[in-house]
Amino acid sequence: MMACLLEAPLRISVLSEVTATSRHYVDRLFDADPQNVLQGVIDMKNAVIGNNKQKANLIVLGAVPRLLYLLQQSSSSLELRTECAVVLGSLAMGTENNIKSLVDCHIIPALLQGLLCSDLIFIEACLRCLRTVFISPVTPVQLLYTDPTVIPHLMSLLSRSRHTQEYITQIFAHCCKTPEHQTVLFNHGAIQNIAPLLISPSDKVRMQALKCFSVLAYENTQVSMTLVNVLVDGEQLSQVFVRMMQRDKPIEMQLTAAKCLTYMCRAGAIRTDDNCIVLKTLPCLVRMCSKERLLEERVEGAETLAYLMEPDVELQRIASVTDHLVSMLADYFKYPSSVSAITDIKRLDHDLKHAHELRQAAFKLYASLGSNDEDIRKKITETENMMDRIVSGLSESSIKVRLAAVRCLHSLSRSVQQLRTSFHDHAVWKPLMKLLQNAPDEVLVMASSTLCNLLLEFSPSKEPILDSGVIELLCSLTQSDSPALRVNGIWALMNMAFQADQKVKVEIVRALGTEQLFRLLSDPDTNVLMKTLGLLRNLLSTRPHIDQIMSSHGKQIMQAVTLILEGEHSIEVKEQTLCILANIADGNTAKELIMTNDDMLQKIKYYMGHSNVKLQLAATFCISNLIWNEEDGSQERQDKLKDMGFVDILHKLTQASDPNLCDRAKTAMQQYLA
DSSP secondary structure of 479-545: T-SSHHHHHHHHHHHHHHHTT--HHHHHHHHHHH-HHHHHHHTT-SSHHHHHHHHHHHHHHS-SHHH
Q: Which of 248-262, 330-344, 593-607 has the highest mean pLDDT?
A: 248-262
Stated length of the chain:
674
Residue 3 has pLDDT above 50, yes or no: no
Residue 262 has pLDDT above 60, yes or no: yes
- Mean pLDDT value across the chain: 90
For range 350-378, the mean pLDDT: 92
pTM: 0.81
pLDDT band at 270; cut points 50, 70, 90: very high
pLDDT band at 305; cut points 50, 70, 90: very high
Residue 424 has pLDDT above 80, yes or no: no
Residue 461 has pLDDT above 60, yes or no: yes
For range 485-513, the mean pLDDT: 91
For range 466-487, the mean pLDDT: 90
Task: List alpha helices for 324-369, DSSP H.
Answer: 325-334, 345-353, 355-369
Partners of residue 236 on adjacent β-strands: 231
Mean pLDDT lowest for which of 3-17, 40-54, 175-189, 651-665? 3-17
For range 50-60, the mean pLDDT: 90
At residue 382, the pLDDT reads 87
pLDDT higher at 305 or 465: 305
Task: List alpha helices for 370-421, DSSP H.
Answer: 374-381, 386-393, 399-412, 416-420
- DSSP annotation of 398: -
Rounded (10°) angle between helices 325-334 and 313-320: 70
**Residues of the chain with pLDDT > 90: what percent?**
64
Q: Which of 14-28, 150-164, 609-623 has the highest mean pLDDT?
A: 150-164
At residue 91, the pLDDT reads 94
Instruction: Name every residue whose Cβ is closer than 8 Å to that of residue 268 and which is 6 or more positions away in sequence.
Output: 221, 224, 225
Residue 419 has pLDDT above 90, yes or no: no
Mean pLDDT lowest for which of 10-24, 403-417, 653-667? 10-24
pLDDT band at 94; cut points 50, 70, 90: confident
Give DSSP secondary structure letters for 179-231: HHHHHHHHHTTHHHHHGGGGG-S-HHHHHHHHHHHHHHHTT-HHHHHHHHT-E
What are the pLDDT digits (tens) for 201-226?
999 999 999 999 999 999 999 999 99
For range 451-460, the mean pLDDT: 80
At residue 674, the pLDDT reads 62
pLDDT higher at 341 or 598: 598
Count CA atoms closer than 13 A to 99's CA, side-chain side: 16
CA 465, CA 455: separation in Å to the nearest integer?
8
At residue 18, the pLDDT reads 55
At residue 98, the pLDDT reads 92
Residue 8 has pLDDT above 60, yes or no: no
Residue 351 has pLDDT above 90, yes or no: no
At residue 103, the pLDDT reads 96
**Residues of the chain with pLDDT > 70: what percent?**
96
pLDDT band at 514; cut points 50, 70, 90: confident
pLDDT band at 63; cut points 50, 70, 90: very high
CA 582, CA 328: separation in Å to the nearest integer?
54
For range 25-43, the mean pLDDT: 93
At residue 105, the pLDDT reads 95
Residue 554 has pLDDT above 80, yes or no: yes
At residue 16, the pLDDT reads 53
At residue 19, the pLDDT reads 64
At residue 553, the pLDDT reads 87
At residue 17, the pLDDT reads 54
For range 329-343, the mean pLDDT: 78
Longest CA–CA separation in the chain, Å = 119
Mean pLDDT lowest for which of 27-36, 359-368, 429-438, 646-655? 429-438
- DSSP annotation of 402: H
CATH number attached to the domain at 563-673: 1.25.10.10
Q: Which of 60-64, 189-193, 324-328, 343-347 has the highest mean pLDDT?
A: 189-193
CA 368, CA 119: separation in Å to the nearest integer?
52
Residue 402 has pLDDT above 70, yes or no: yes
For 149, the 3-state DSSP assignment is: coil
pLDDT band at 338; cut points 50, 70, 90: confident
Domain boundaries, the chain: 563-673
